[in-house]
Amino acid sequence: MTTTPPLVNGRVIGLAHYAGRAVLESVLVRHGVTFQQSVALRAVVVSGPGPVDRARLAGDVSGSLKIPPAEADGVVDELIASGLLAPHEPSGVRITDAGREVHERSSAETGVISARIYSGIPAEDLAVAGRVLTLVTERADAELAATADAAPRGIRGGEHGAE
């Protein structure tokens, strides 16, 4: 019996996202961090050595996760409270040794799992999927921005966001 593979659409993308996220969260829970916190830690690590401007970090997390800036700022607070980030004067944060260790260990674990998940998928298929998903993300971000620009006052910023 042959089955026709589904065309990519929101459901297919969503199912892949949530399956991958569930795998990632099963690793993160062993390290005591949430998905949102892992996104923030990664943003600090990839920004390079030295402190990161806290407002920029919260903005990056907000933009990546499509969450309100105040929620992203709360994620930064959680990481500071847990000792994975530390404040750095005048308005920055820096990753602590504990934060770097959590990031490195969880990344190594998920790297092994990701290698198994992607094993055997031809490079050209991965390249096509990457191009398509990048384009879908760009278009969805543009739609989200247009929707936010058109929203009446009081509805922006996730105050009455759709579930």
Distance separating alpha carbons of residues 27 and 46, to the nearest angstrom: 20
Q: Report pLDDT digits (tens) over 12-39.
A: 999 999 999 999 999 999 999 999 999 9
Q: Bigger pLDDT: 25 or 152? A: 25
Give one word for 126, left, alpha or beta, with left for phi > 0 and alpha for psi -120 to 50.
alpha
Q: 100 or 153, which is more confident?
A: 100
| Cβ–Cβ < 8 Å for 83, 100 | no
pLDDT tens-digit readout, 40-52:
999 999 998 889 9
DSSP string, 126-142: HHHHHHHHHHHHHHHHH
Mean pLDDT of 127-131: 96
pTM score, two decimals?
0.83
Q: Show the domains of the chain with their CATH numbers.
A: 24-119 (1.10.10.10)
The gap from C-alpha 128 to its chain's centroid, in whole angstroms, comes to: 22
Q: For residues 107 and 153, which has the higher predicted lDDT (pLDDT)?
A: 107
Which residue in 108, 107, 104, 82 sits closest to 93, CA to CA? 82
Summarize the confidence of residues 148-157 as an average pLDDT.
64
Cα separation, 127 vs 113, in Å, equals: 20
Identify the pLDDT of residue 11.
Answer: 94
The pLDDT value given to residue 49: 86
Instruction: Please write the tens of the pLDDT for every residue from 64-104.
Output: 999 999 999 999 999 999 999 999 988 899 999 999 999 99
Residue 2 sits at φ, ψ, to 5 deg, of -105, 140
Residue 29 DSSP label: G
